[in-house]
């Protein structure tokens, strides 16, 4: 699979409008259990290619080609490309169509795990999103550690100055933009803010990639929705 499940900060969305799908995968990549679960979903096919089994489907999806303009990691096609290609098959033509026009992370999370996601999508959330990842930061981190994908969604572009972690090196006081109608995977929550990753990946024009620090006071400005998946282990508990 050309390197296995890539690090969360090396994946790149590519030319498809599927940030809601890629952010869900990235959310699972934020933990060891999540990465193990994604790897377990992909098995080599005897006739070539790969078979991918998501929790919502009893029958695996066969992948013998991936999107040329789709997801990559470190510039290469691999496991993330295979998962993306399999996901496009989950709902027939409708799923492939949504890969271009977009959707919400809870939708892709539920297909990946086969379990219900907690999601809040309305603009008038008050402090729900901020409190989930700051006041309840220990709970949020525990959910990520047990193999859940936590994704934050936006409504409009917001530009601000913050810190960015790239390859273990902290860059302070960078000007970054959180993009409107976009999805970000959460890597770690704290009382003072949250670290997120943009599925656009390294070198993108909005934040140039890496883990972006969103201070507590910025959360309500940048984000208007949250989706928390079922554990990825749920995908392997279904009796078919």
Tell me the domain boundaries of the chain: 11-104, 119-228
Question: What string of H, E and C letters represents the secondary structure of 95-124?
Answer: HHHHHHHCCCHHHHHHHHHCCCCEEECCCC
The 10s digit of each residue's pLDDT in 72-119 is 998 899 999 999 999 999 987 888 888 888 889 999 999 999 999 998
- CATH number for the region 119-228 comes to 3.90.70
What pTM did the predictor assign?
A: 0.95
What pLDDT shows up at residue 48?
94
The 10s digit of each residue's pLDDT in 125-138 is 568 889 989 999 99
Q: What is the mean pLDDT of residues 142-168?
A: 96
Assign 202 a pLDDT band (cuts: 50, 70, 90).
very high
Q: What is the mean pLDDT of residues 182-191?
A: 98
What pLDDT shows up at residue 120?
80
Q: What is the greatest pairwise CA distance in the chain?
A: 53
The 10s digit of each residue's pLDDT in 6-50 is 889 999 999 999 999 999 999 999 999 999 999 999 999 999 999
For residue 94, give every residue at least 6 positions away whose Cβ sits within 8 Å of its Cβ, in sequence order, or none.
none
What pLDDT shows up at residue 238?
85
Q: What is the mean pLDDT of residues 54-71?
A: 95
**Parallel/antiparallel/unpaired status of strands 42-44 and 11-12:** unpaired
Cβ atoms of 217 and 134 within 8 Å: the answer is no
**Parallel/antiparallel/unpaired status of strands 42-44 and 50-52:** antiparallel
């Amino acid at each position: 699979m050309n390197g296995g499940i890539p690090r969360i900060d090396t994946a790149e969305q590519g030319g498809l409008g599927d940030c809601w799908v890629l952010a869900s995968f990235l959310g699972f990549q934020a933990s060891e259990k999540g990465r193990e679960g994604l790897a377990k979903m992909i098995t080599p096919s005897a006739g070539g290619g790969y078979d991918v089994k998501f929790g919502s489907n009893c029958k695996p999806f066969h992948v013998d080609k991936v999107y040329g303009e789709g997801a990559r990691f470190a510039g290469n096609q691999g496991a993330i490309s295979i998962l993306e290609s399999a996901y496009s098959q989950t709902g027939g033509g409708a799923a492939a169509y949504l890969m271009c026009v977009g959707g919400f992370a809870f939708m892709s999370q539920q297909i990946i795990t086969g379990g219900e996601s907690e999601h809040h999508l309305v603009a008038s959330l008050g402090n729900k999103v901020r409190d989930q990842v700051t006041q309840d930061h220990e709970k949020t981190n525990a959910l990520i550690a047990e193999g859940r994908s936590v994704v934050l969604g936006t409504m409009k572009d917001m530009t601000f100055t913050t810190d960015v972690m790239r390859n273990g090196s902290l860059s302070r006081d960078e000007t970054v933009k959180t993009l409107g109608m976009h999805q970000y995977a959460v890597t770690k929550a704290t009382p003072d803010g949250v670290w997120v990753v943009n599925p656009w990946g390294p070198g993108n024009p909005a934040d140039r990639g890496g883990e972006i620090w969103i201070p507590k006071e910025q959360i309500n400005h940048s984000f208007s929705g949250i989706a928390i998946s079922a554990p990825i282990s749920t995908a392997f508990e279904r009796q078919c």
